[in-house]
Amino acid sequence: MATAKKKRGSTKKRPPVVGVLMGSSSDLEVMERAAKCLESLDIPHEVVVTSAHRSPERTARYTKSAKRRGIKVLVVGAGRAAHLAGAVAANTTLPVLGVPLESGALAGKDALLSTVQMPAGVPVGTLAIGGAGAENAALLAASILALDDSRLAAKLERRRREMAAKVPGTVRRYG
Ligand code: RP5
């Protein structure tokens, strides 16, 4: 138990390499899935609520300083008109992974189209709507970081093997 506590403490001291951003506190429950996935891979990260339209200056300040502060990948979730990922990508050349969130009358289809339809020149890599997208964005961020980190690459490979072992394979034969 004491070792576990010590490990957690030392994780906190490392500067974050992934920023998990979202447009509203109402996005937090779903975007926690990205944060938990990063934590399970022991990747230092920070979780920030900032809005493209409600706090545009804070969003720009955060994004412009991210690379300088050691951030390598940005995971950005937003719902409805969902311009946060695009607004973030406008101010950095770091990889931006967008997660369209389910919210309001169109249940995430609006956010999907807003996030995925970036005009050529400013890319946003777009994941699935909601929790699956949040988790996959974290895994994709990990894959990017793993290009320069063999220990992390080994963790990702182990995770895939564990996943494969859980697939039941043939469940029935006849004849
Ligand atoms: C977007 O609008 C946020 O990302 C959120 O998904 C949605 C609704 O925000 P709230 O009205 O709940 O703050 O900007």
Expressed in angstroms and rounded, the spacing between residue 92 Cα and the centre of ligand 1 is 23
pLDDT above 90 for 108: yes
- Residue 56 is assigned to a structural domain of this protein: yes
Residue to mutate, 21, 22, 26, ligand 1, most ligand atoms under 8 Å from C-beta: 26
Region 24-45 average pLDDT:
98
pLDDT above 60 for 107: yes
The structure tokens 């043939």 sit at 170
pLDDT at 12: 55
pLDDT above 90 for 2: no
Full residue range of the structural domain in which residue 74 is found: 21-122
Q: Pick from 4, 8, 30: which is nearest to 133 by CA?
A: 30
For residue 26, the 8-state DSSP code is G
- Residue 156 is assigned to a structural domain of this protein: no
pLDDT above 60 for 5: no
- Residue 15 is assigned to a structural domain of this protein: no
What's the CATH number where 57 sits? 3.40.50.1970
Question: What number does the ligand 1 atom closest to the CA of 23 have?
Answer: 4
Could you tell me if the CB of 26 is within 6 A of ligand 1? yes
- Residue 28 is assigned to a structural domain of this protein: yes
Which residue has the CA at smallest separation from atom 14 of ligand 1? 23
- Residue 51 is assigned to a structural domain of this protein: yes
Residue to mutate, 25, 27, 32, 99, ligand 1, most ligand atoms under 8 Å from C-beta: 27
pLDDT above 70 for 10: no
pLDDT above 70 for 3: no
- Residue 130 is assigned to a structural domain of this protein: no
- Residue 6 is assigned to a structural domain of this protein: no
- Beta-sheet strand order (sheet of 96-101): 45-49, 18-22, 73-79, 96-101, 125-126
Region 146-173 average pLDDT:
97
* Prediction pTM value: 0.92
Task: Give the total number of structural domains in the chain.
Answer: 1
Instruction: Give the 3-state secondary structure of residue 30.
Output: helix
- Residue 65 is assigned to a structural domain of this protein: yes
Quote the CA–CA distance of 107 and 96 in Å, as a whole number: 22
Region 29-35 average pLDDT:
98
